[in-house]
Structure 1
């Protein structure tokens, strides 16, 4: 059944165009927010008279709220409808962005960031659910060209835009920049966005919500704190152990309760499960490189924040290139070959970056980042499409919730791993040790994660993807004509 959008200025806006417009704008803001704020933290600390160690609450509050509300997103979409949930999340995120810009104290800013995290935690899973329902299986690769836009550009644009805004205006603008995008997306969504009714919501699963939210929040908090406080400190070990325990308990609970908040049986789908295992080390390696590479440029090569951000931007162009190439190659090669090629390409490029730390040259660094973005883009686009082709529509909300929980955990782990390796291997202050050695080891470790992803991608079944496409393809025969039977002797 095709969902039509309303008429705007005499023209009918399709559901696909409406969902794409709102999802891309909302996801762009949410993803960029994770990198743009980091650039502004020193200026925020100077304004509020707080040192660097006291500013962690700005990001931790956002991260914890994000973690708590990602698991809730699927149930809210089923209970109140995807349209209402998505627009409410977009309103919360936009409103909180404006409030953050007006904050007069660190406590107020932290509180507003929590509200922003609530909106951010709901935006991506609900938006992805709407995309999967708006686009039939056969058209989802074409939609990847738009879906990949925020994933590709937002993380790289955040430091560039944030550095420029802080240098030319003030830290308040890293939040104000969300307002025009959010308001326009909200107005567009109010007029054009259709609803995609799901199977309906069962009774609210209070234990599942508390366990999943607390578990994911504790794990993400521990991973965020680990590079600064150490993996053996109580501030890391206690929340990490508690978070893993909560997530183990919620897994048992959700598989046994009659009304689970997240139906984990979706993970029994072999194709969905395998692609998630591929995306986990890839996401960790990718976010680790995006964290490590600008830091290396600033500490060892003397780049400022703006120019290190510009040097990272070729990665976004590479991912955009991949998003255009994958739909053309998918039918001929299948997702498995593209995923293996993307993972192997990322291994080669990250190893090259490790070698370049000893003798860096801009003419090699810029193409390397472009090739990294292209390689990771090949893997991401192919894996995300393959992940959902065999997931029934009634379970898309559960699948997108799990995907976003995995994405947040993978990114936090990659950054924590890279930061820990650099901090622990750095030569003591005042010595003549090799300052590039820690970066070299960190890059090689991240390359090993990509190698794991490439090997796991070998388990993806091209046949299952092709069968799902054939089953979902519209019947070209005229209505009422009989499907031909098997040929004689077959």
Structure 2
């Protein structure tokens, strides 16, 4: 019996690249949408006359929808076929985008964002499944490098695109831009993806769904409420986190009983998958959490516009583009345990600069550090995912990619909330300006006044120069302290990374003809 590894050519051929193009289009839509909307939050406040906490639900609602739908993606891919499901996800996302552009109030916008999230949540795990099945296990590294481009460029391109669209047109276009992209992606998917031949052999795990999806949504709701409330003791934070956590824990114990659980945790008996998953989760908490604060530093401390802040982040994406193709090729030939630790050290080296930021730190130094971090990122995320998926059989890939996406979503939400709370608490320790009151009657701190002055030149003229300087210095120090946490967590990622495979991995697919797969599955 000829293995897929032997049959598949070493390089990515035109047929595989054609399929990869479909997945990249979908990934660009879903990832860019998150960062583009984050730029528009102040615009939503003024357009709808809403508070920041209210418009923040345009982000939170999308995240909760992702958490709800991702667990069902693996089963649905087996039941209905990846092509049908992927085109359905594209259609939902596109329709949700158009509806978002018609919203008249915050409530409508949040509701339409949930519809977007139901489609967007399926795009990434389905895309990974489609690409892995198309190329075979021996070329996963190269394919992950292709898929990684939108994953790493999204946080850079999103703020630039969002700022430009809002400046030259209106906020409606950050959603309407998905209409032509979605239409092209649907036609492309219909043409490029092979016809589905699903062989449904599993029953749907309704009990697991009733525990896992609401549990994830409730837990992430509590986590997402943490920056707004500022403390774990708030009922809005601890109660949904507790209830959600109990439901998820209940699912973990339950999931080993049914033959076909909604999320197959038995995959974690594969040591390589487990180590790669832990490494990816720690890395996501560290980098994605602190990474969202880089543009905030440029906006709040340096007074840059949204567009300029996005442009200053570009070196990071350029660095990732340099190393990602190289890392993809190496991941198919060299064990990731020999390359990922060096990439993590590059990230830590670039990260260290931000632990020293002040009010006038050189842009050359900061952009150079972002470029170095980008070099490390290009050699980290996709090789880790490659290691996780490489030893799974074709049937297991859908479940494995679903597991990875859920844990990455949770880790990203936890990291973002944690860094936001640390920064907020640091800023709240700033000295209060005697007699100054905000419009809502609350006290005004030196840090708060300095941040406001950076975005409002008229306000800056009303603040004494020494107070403005002192406030900005405090804000810069608060960012530096928060970046220290991210730096330490990045170094901690080296611990699980040390256990990544250091010897060549044999794919499960290539062993199917000779021996049973080393993973207990359905």
TM-score (norm 2): 0.84
Residue 238 and residue 15 in structure 1: after superposition, are their counterparts in 2 closer, same or farther (change >3 A)? farther
TM-superposed CA distance for 1:334, in Å, is 2.6
Partner of 2:252: 251
In 2: Cα distance, 1:473 partner to 1:253 partner: 29
Q: 1:449 to 1:353 in 2, by over 3 A?
A: same
The equivalent of 2:412 in structure 1 is 411
CA distance in 2, matches of 1:239, 1:197: 41
* Secondary structure at the counterpart of residue 466 of structure 1: coil
Query: In 2 relative to 1, CA 452–166 (structure 1 residues): closer, same or farther, beyond 3 Å?
Result: same
Runs of 4+ residues over 6 Å off in structure 1: none
2:505 aligned counterpart, secondary structure: helix
Measure the CA separation in 1 of the matches of 2:34 and 2:156: 11
Conserved? CA contact 1:15–1:193, under 8 Å: no
Q: Distance in 2 between matches of 1:302 and 1:244?
A: 40
- Compute the displacement of 1:273 (Å): 0.5
1:446 corresponds in structure 2 to 486
Cα distance change on mapping 1:405 and 1:328 into 2, 3 Å = closer
Q: Secondary structure at the match of 1:416?
A: helix
Q: 1:175 to 1:418 in 2, by over 3 A?
A: same
> Which consecutive unaligned segments of at least 5 residues does structure 2 have?
5-12, 434-445, 447-469, 514-522
Check conservation: 2:214, 2:244, Cα contact below 8 A: yes
Residue matched to 1:151: 151
Q: Flag the 1:306–1:16 CA change in 2: closer, same or farther, 3 A.
A: same
SS in 2 for 1:468: coil
CA separation of 1:264 and 1:352: change in aligned 2, threshold 3 A: same
Distance 1:372 1:422 in 2: 21
Describe how 1:7-46 pairs up with structure 2 within 5 A.
15-46=15-46
What's the offset of the Cα at 1:328? 4.5
Residues 346-385 of structure 1: matches in 2 within 5 Å? 346-357=347-358, 359-385=360-386
Distance 1:171 1:331, change over 3 A: closer
Greater shift, 309-318 or 193-202, is seen at: 193-202
Alignment partner, residue 241 of structure 2:
240
Task: Report matched runs for 1:113-262 at 5 Å.
Answer: 113-195=113-195, 197=197, 200-230=200-230, 231-262=232-263
Query: Secondary structure at 2:256's aligned position in 1?
Result: helix
Contact 2:138/2:507 (8 A) holds in 1: no
Structure 2 match to 1:428: 431
CA distance in 2, matches of 1:414, 1:23: 26
Aligned to 2:496: 456
Match of 2:314 in 1: 313
Q: Measure, in 2, the Cα distance between the counterparts of 1:265 and 1:251.
A: 10
Shift of 1:249: 0.6
User: 1:152, 1:317 within 8 Å by CA — same for their partners in 2?
Assistant: no
> Following TM superposition, by how much is the alpha carbon of 1:448 offset from its aligned partner in structure 2, in angstroms?
1.3
Contact 2:208 2:251 in 1 (8 A): yes
User: What is the alpha-carbon distance in structure 2 between the residues aligned to residue 329 and residue 191 of structure 1?
Assistant: 31
Give the match's secondary structure for 1:287. Answer: helix
Q: CA 1:179 to 1:450, structure 2 compared with 1: closer, same or farther past 3 Å?
A: same
Q: How far apart are residue 367 of structure 1 and its match? A: 1.2
TM-score by length of 1: 0.90
2:319·2:378 contact (CA, 8 Å) conserved in 1? yes
Q: Distance in 1 between matches of 2:188 and 2:27?
A: 15
Task: Provide closer, same or farther for how the CA distance between residues 246 and 438 of structure 1 changes in structure 2, counting only shifts above 3 A.
Answer: same
Distance in 1, Cα, partners of 2:287 & 2:177: 26
Q: How far is 1:92 from its partner?
A: 0.6
Change (3 A) 1:425 1:253: same
Q: Give the deviation of 1:348 after TM superposition.
A: 1.7
Structure 1 stretch displaced more, 414-423 or 353-362: 353-362
CA distance in 1, matches of 2:201, 2:353: 50
Shift of 1:106: 2.0
Measure, in 2, the Cα distance between the counterparts of 1:76 and 1:210. 16
1:320-374 CA-partner distances (Å, limit 9, x unpaired): 1121221444467531121111112212211111113365111111111111111
Q: Which residue of 2 aligns with 1:389?
A: 390
Cα distance in structure 1, aligned partners of 2:142 and 2:98: 34
